[in-house]
Amino acid sequence: MASKVKITAPADYHTETILEANRRAAEHGIDLSKLPKLTDMTADTITDNVHVINSNCKYCLFQSGTRCSNPTNRATLEFLKETGKMCSDIRHASVPAEFILLSDVLGVSSLVDSLNHAKPPGATEACVLGPFFTEDAHEFQNGESIATEGKGDYMYVHGKILDTNGNPIPGAIIDTWETDGHGLYDTQYADRTEPDCRGRLHSAEDGSYAFRAVVPVSYPIPSDGPVGKLVTNLGRHVFRPAHLHMQVEAQGYEKLTTAWYPRGDPYLYSDAVFGVHTSLIVDLKEVTDKDLALKRGFKEGKPHLELHRDIVLATPEEGSAARKRYTSSLKQ
Ligand SMILES: [Fe+2]
């Protein structure tokens, strides 16, 4: 069968993975361009969309009416055993990373987020944590770089941490982590000796934060474990659009886990883990002003991209009221 599948490679680095995803998808006669749009998932829409996207696999239990045989049941248990084996310190995560990934690709993380992290109007939306958060990030001062030199194209990230009335929140703890220019997190390097492309900083008295980073790129979810193989066998593509993770915590406010997604990424509307919300899509501005680049600390005043976004936190009372409204608005 002639392949209708077309996946745009973000970098030569991942060519083998892309070809494999293409080949698997083509085996099932899937046209990835006709997949449902997977942004802005809610508790009302996520289950149906996960069902649709997984039902491309003719052997899949997600297809309605499919009976589970004993061998299939045993294979499922074997899969869970293999998933457990991957949950070691290898990925440096504080939680079982491969199971987080499984929850992510099945849409469960997105569903749980939508039910538990509904936000009041004006507050920044939450999205999936993913499997790459670690507890060992270094502390940085505002303006410093969370990435070592050579890790990717320069990016400057700044904004303010605010409440829903626009008041600054000083002293907020900001954790941020991202891929390097190869689309890999530091934890995916076997020779990792210390954190890179991740850091922890605090908002200033006026609520402002700023740091140097690298431009994140889209990446395949880890394909060395059972979850990556599952997604490929389902005929889905394995990519997440480029993003910068942010987690913000401040006394008197609900902890927020979110991410910014640069506009223009080819996987923005078919994220493998259903994490994108329209409100989290950002425009990166090109900065060519050498003096400004030097002032921001970029080597030789080189051009960079700028990500400017404020982050608005909700109080527990505001969050609770938003969740009540959200829950009551769901279909019964
Ligand atoms: Fe990520």
Residues in the chain, overall count: 332
Higher-pLDDT residue of 28, 87: 87
Separation CA 269–CA 219 (nearest Å): 14
Distance in Å, CA 217 to ligand 1 centroid: 10
- Name the one residue in this structure whose structure tokens are 């996946």: 7
Flag the least confident range among 70-74, 94-98, 298-302.
Answer: 94-98
Distance in Å, CA 218 to ligand 1 centroid: 9
Share of the chain above pLDDT 90, in %: 44
Is residue 146 assigned to a domain? yes
Distance in Å, CA 132 to ligand 1 centroid: 7
DSSP 53-75: HHTTSTT-TTSTTPPPPHHHHHH
Is residue 1 assigned to a domain? no
Is residue 40 assigned to a domain? yes
Q: How many CA atoms lie within 13 A of 162 on its CB side?
A: 14
The domain spanning residue 54 has which CATH number?
2.60.130.10
Q: What angle do CA 158, 242, 29 make, to 5 degrees?
A: 160
Q: Which of 152, 150, 155, 137 minimizes the C-alpha distance to 297?
A: 155
What is the reported pTM? 0.80
What angle separates helix 108-116 from helix 97-105, to the nearest 10 degrees? 80
Is residue 173 assigned to a domain? yes
The whole domain housing 25 covers 12-329
Number of domains in the chain: 1
Token digits for 76? 């499922």
Is residue 130 assigned to a domain? yes
pLDDT per residue as tens digits for the range 134-188: 999 999 999 999 999 999 999 999 999 999 999 999 999 999 999 999 889 998 8
Distance in Å, CA 309 to ligand 1 centroid: 18
- Name the one residue in this structure whose structure tokens are 């899937």: 30
Is residue 255 assigned to a domain? yes
Higher-pLDDT residue of 81, 248: 248
Distance in Å, CA 275 to ligand 1 centroid: 10
Check pLDDT > 80 for residue 64.
no
Check pLDDT > 90 for residue 251.
yes
Distance in Å, CA 73 to ligand 1 centroid: 31
Separation CA 270–CA 293 (nearest Å): 34
pLDDT averaged over every residue in the chain: 82
Check pLDDT > 70 for residue 33.
no
Check pLDDT > 50 for residue 4.
no
Is residue 5 assigned to a domain? no
Please say whether the beta carbons of 272 and 239 come within 8 A: yes
Is residue 310 assigned to a domain? yes
Share of the chain above pLDDT 70, in %: 80
